[in-house]
Amino acid sequence: MLATVSRSLQKKAGMVGTSKPIQKHRLTKLLFVDDEEGIRLTLPLLLHARGFDVRVAASVPEALSEIKTHKFDVLLSDLNIGEDGDGFTVIRAMRRAHPNCIAILLTGYPAFETAVQAIEDEVDGYLVKPADSEVKCITTAGKLVVELA
């Protein structure tokens, strides 16, 4: 999983097939979307402690507002976010606004159909809750998003 996400990050950052040294680092901007208060209060703290600039949305409308007003490097969205849409709604909006954003879907209810939809929507990662070990993957992969001088 990490290799796939890392390759996606490198490709989108223009690092695949190049030997240019990284000259400048910047904070990785991440939008975290989840309607579950418990995970919304804890996971962003872990990500922030690892160096991410994290913005949080509790619903699809909040996420869409964040996407309109901020630029993000990484989107980490729950699949089932409530009645106003789902994680795919958020990912499609992010792809339209910021095509190079890394999109990672998080779900507590993995299913073949949603995995296929994730492939069709070119989702960069499909992670299953609980995400304890996956947080390490996201953190490591997210830090590969760099600004090349």
Rounded-to-integer distance, Cα 92 and Cα 105, Å:
12
Q: Are 101 and 78 in contact (CB under 8 A)?
A: no
Q: Is the pLDDT reported for residue 17 higher than 60?
A: no
pLDDT in tens, 19-65: 444 445 578 999 999 999 988 888 898 888 888 999 999 999 999 99
pTM over 0.75: no
Rounded-to-integer distance, Cα 123 and Cα 115, Å:
9
The pLDDT value given to residue 142: 56
The pLDDT value given to residue 12: 57
Q: Are 40 and 58 in contact (CB under 8 A)?
A: yes
* CATH fold for the domain made of 29-142: Rossmann fold (3.40.50)
- Record the tokens describing residue 2, joined without a space: 């990490």
Q: Are 90 and 65 in contact (CB under 8 A)?
A: no
